[in-house]
Amino acid sequence: MAVHIRGNVKRSRDMTDTNNPPPNGEAIPPELSHCGAVVDKAIEYMLGENLPPMAIASALLGGSLGLLSRTMGREAMQGMLENALHSVQAGELHPDHDHAAD
């Protein structure tokens, strides 16, 4: 199961960027790109309302976990969370990750 993790809206490469495909040649499904663009806009709006980034991230993560728990089994959910954890541990979500190859 491929799981794509979205980064900070300020990152130069995100899932809606068609000029920089994801690693390993994985194609991003159009519905995932669309959902990502909607989330990016929501984040931009909340930041524009001067809401704290930690509150925004916590609300988005809580909402995501709630949706996952209602729509998939425990093992699939655990796999997605482990994938996300591995991305964090590998430094893939750090803002400097995109610039490391420059």
User: Picking from 24-33, 38-47, 55-64, 82-91, which range would have the lowest pLDDT averaged per residue?
Assistant: 24-33
Residue pair 92/8 in contact by the 8 Å Cβ criterion:
no
Identify the pLDDT of residue 14: 45
pLDDT value, residue 2? 43
Which region among 7-11, 14-18, 47-51, 54-58 has the lowest average model confidence (pLDDT)?
Answer: 7-11
Q: Are 69 and 77 in contact (CB under 8 A)?
A: yes
Please tell me whether residue 7 adopts helix, strand or coil conformation: coil
The full DSSP string for 16-83 is T-SSSPPGGGPPPPHHHHHHHHHHHHHHHHHHHTT--HHHHHHHHHHHHHHHHHHHS-HHHHHHHHHH
Structure tokens at 85: 């954890």
